[in-house]
Amino acid sequence: MKTYKMSKERFPEFIDIIKSKGKLFGPVKQKEQHSFEEIDEFSQLDFDYQRTQIALKKYLTPPRYKTMHFTKDTIEEILPEDEKNIVIGAHPCDIHGVNILDRLFLGNIQDPYYAKRRENLIIIGHSCFPDDKCFCHSTGTDMVDDGFDLFLTSLNGYYLVWVGTDEGLDLAIAAEDLLEEDINDEIIQDYVIWQQIRSQKFRSDVPYFKYLADIMDLNYDSEVWKQFGDKCLSCGTCSLVCPTCNCFNVDDKIKMSAEEGIRERMLDSCMLPYYSLVAGGHDFRPSRTDRIKLYYTHKLKEYIGKWGQPSCVGCGRCVEYCPVEINALTVAEALYGEVGQTKEVLDF
């Protein structure tokens, strides 16, 4: 992986260069929240944030979009526009979220709508410091080695610029007058110290997260699920803000003439009532307890069985936005606590 050094004084010039390569988006503060918005100038960017409300999936699986136009005689597929979107300021956990979506949508059967958007998305990551809601240290997603085109590590007065792809290298070449290749011992020492300081700032460490799949198996019929089900509002906020939730519905809209129509895809959530309703009126998961159990066993257990890691990236969005404090941390703690309460001293 190629690495450069760039003075922060030259960073506005860097922004001007990458803006010429596509539509630029970055973290913008709006009232008390941050979100990725289109950027016109450097001054709009605010890298001093922990998490945006919605992660990078908004550029890959939009809330609603058209996939097909049809008549009685023809079918026309509607693919996304062929334009480059550049997102700067993405944190490591959010980039891991994109990597998870890539596995799902770019596997043996590729989703053409996702594939087109992913092809046209350039990701420039940015380093961060955690707050009390971040637990990416426990999920192993606090650092990232792939999934980005460029990654900026903010050090004392300068950035380390890591190149992750050929497209990232093209951007670096376009900005070559701003970049230095001499990475000396002093810079390496700065980076090591920064890593040590950052690691010490994590306050929501979950040391048993790697055992969670086994704990969930042991507690599959636990009363914990009913307790969470009684609290849950079925609002779907957790799915909306989660970087890896990707359930969708498909709707055909037919014109009154019945001569033509469009097919749309829209985000959905397994936490919402009627999500599991099928023809004939049967609902596989009619209760909130059933739905919340499905949600967390899939995210924290089943995905590990298929991919070797949870589909939770520890970003803390569910911790911040669930109005009744049901989130990956509280679920993990409740299940782990129940095992701890029933443990006996064993003679191994």
**pLDDT confidence of residue 281:** 87
Whether residue 281 sits in one domain with residue 196: no
Query: Is residue 82 a contact partner of residue 116, using CB atoms and an 8 Å limit?
Result: yes
Residue 302 covered by a domain: yes
What residues have CB less than 8 Å from 256, skipping those under 6 apart? none
Residue 291 covered by a domain: yes
Whether residue 318 sits in one domain with residue 284: yes
What percentage of residues in the chain have a pLDDT greater than 70?
Answer: 96
Distance CA 60, CA 327 (A): 24
Whether residue 240 sits in one domain with residue 191: no
Which of 200, 235, 270 is the endpoint of a domain?
200
Whether residue 230 sits in one domain with residue 139: no
- Band of residue 338 on the pLDDT scale cut at 50, 70, 90: low
Whether residue 140 sits in one domain with residue 28: yes
Q: Which of 25, 13, 28 is nearest to 60 (CA)?
A: 25
Which of 135, 165, 200 is the endpoint of a domain?
200
> What does the block give as tokens for 293?
């159990």
Residue 70 covered by a domain: no
Whether residue 293 sits in one domain with residue 153: no
**pLDDT confidence of residue 341:** 52
What percentage of residues in the chain have a pLDDT greater than 90?
Answer: 78
Please determine, for residue 207, whether its predicted confidence score (pLDDT) is greater than 80: no
Q: Which of 238, 339, 231 is nearest to 298 (CA)?
A: 238
Distance CA 302, CA 292 (A): 14
Residue-wise pLDDT tens digits, 225-261: 999 999 999 999 999 999 999 999 999 999 988 899 9
Q: Backbone dihedral region of 234: left (phi > 0), alpha (psi from -120 to 50 degrees) or beta?
A: left
Distance CA 156, CA 8 (A): 9
Does an H or E element contain 54, and which?
A: none
Residue 17 covered by a domain: yes
Residue 145 covered by a domain: yes
Which of 163, 181, 200 is the endpoint of a domain?
200
**pLDDT confidence of residue 346:** 43
Domain count for the chain: 2
Residue 347 covered by a domain: no
Whether residue 8 sits in one domain with residue 149: yes
Query: Is residue 3 a contact partner of residue 155, using CB atoms and an 8 Å limit?
Result: no
Whether residue 170 sits in one domain with residue 28: yes
Amino acid at position 331, single letter: V
Whether residue 283 sits in one domain with residue 187: no
- Residues 319-346: what's their mean pLDDT? 79
Whether residue 261 sits in one domain with residue 164: no
> What does the block give as tokens for 269?
């959530």
**pLDDT confidence of residue 342:** 47
- DSSP, collapsed to helix, strand or coil, labels residue 167 as helix
Distance CA 80, CA 202 (A): 39
Residue 71 covered by a domain: no
Whether residue 192 sits in one domain with residue 215: no
Whether residue 7 sits in one domain with residue 135: yes
Residue 346 covered by a domain: no
Q: How many residues does the chain have?
A: 348
Domain housing 247: 209-341
Partnered with residue 153 across adjacent β-strands are 160
